[in-house]
Amino acid sequence: MDPRKGDALPALGEISGAIVTGSHAMVTERLDWSEASAAWMAQFVEHEVPLLGICYGHQLLAHAMGGEAGYNPRGMEIGTREIQLLGVNDALLGGLPQTFSAQTVHQQSALRLPPDAVLLAASERDPYHAFRIGTAAWGVQFHPEFGAAAMRAYVRHLAPLVVKQGDDAEALEQSVRETPVAAAVLARFAEIVRRTTDARVRQIATFS
């Protein structure tokens, strides 16, 4: 669904979990559909329904829960980057290698995490690359859904901005590679949704 086009956001009782993906919009624009989405995301945290925010969704989750999103003072992060895992015991990211590659493309970042958020991953250019808030809501700045072809296309498209901030666009494009560890985060999240749903079904059956 696309809330930018007026699609209604589903009630939490109608879904088992959700993924909020990237956007060309900026969280700091405070667009009506974005702010409505932020309020919707906060309900997931309150009711412990699994939620995964990716890139824009990561920043929006931080904003929704009392953190801050804005332009990264270190500049745009783009290309295949090395991510350092900090949350080794986390339900979503725990068990991944201590350092893994991931696709990134963003000008804004989570600049301040929400109160009680748990920092899970960082990169050289972004110290808040992943976090958990509550028991079942995660934000990841990297793109687990991107393959190398999509990443190269973004590097080519944004080459003028890459060069403007002093980076080598050609070298950046050549360094792009597949990121299977980061991609596995999607299947891991789907498994969390499945387990959470099964547990709720058993709980309902117990009390019915």
Q: Which residues are catalytic?
A: 55, 143, 145
The Cα–Cα gap between 29 and 32 comes to 9
Instruction: Phi first, then psi: give them for residue 82, nearest 5 degrees.
Output: -90, 130
The Cα–Cα gap between 105 and 125 comes to 12
Please identify which residue in the block is written with the tokens 């109160």: 115
**Pick from 53, 205, 206, 63: nearest CA to 136:** 53
CA distances from 52 to 20, 35, 49, 157 (A): 6, 17, 10, 27
The Cα–Cα gap between 126 and 140 comes to 11
The type of residue at 10 is: P
Helices (H), 6-158: 32-47, 56-64, 148-157
Do you know the residue count of the chain? 208
Contact 106/80 with Cβ under 8 angstroms?
no
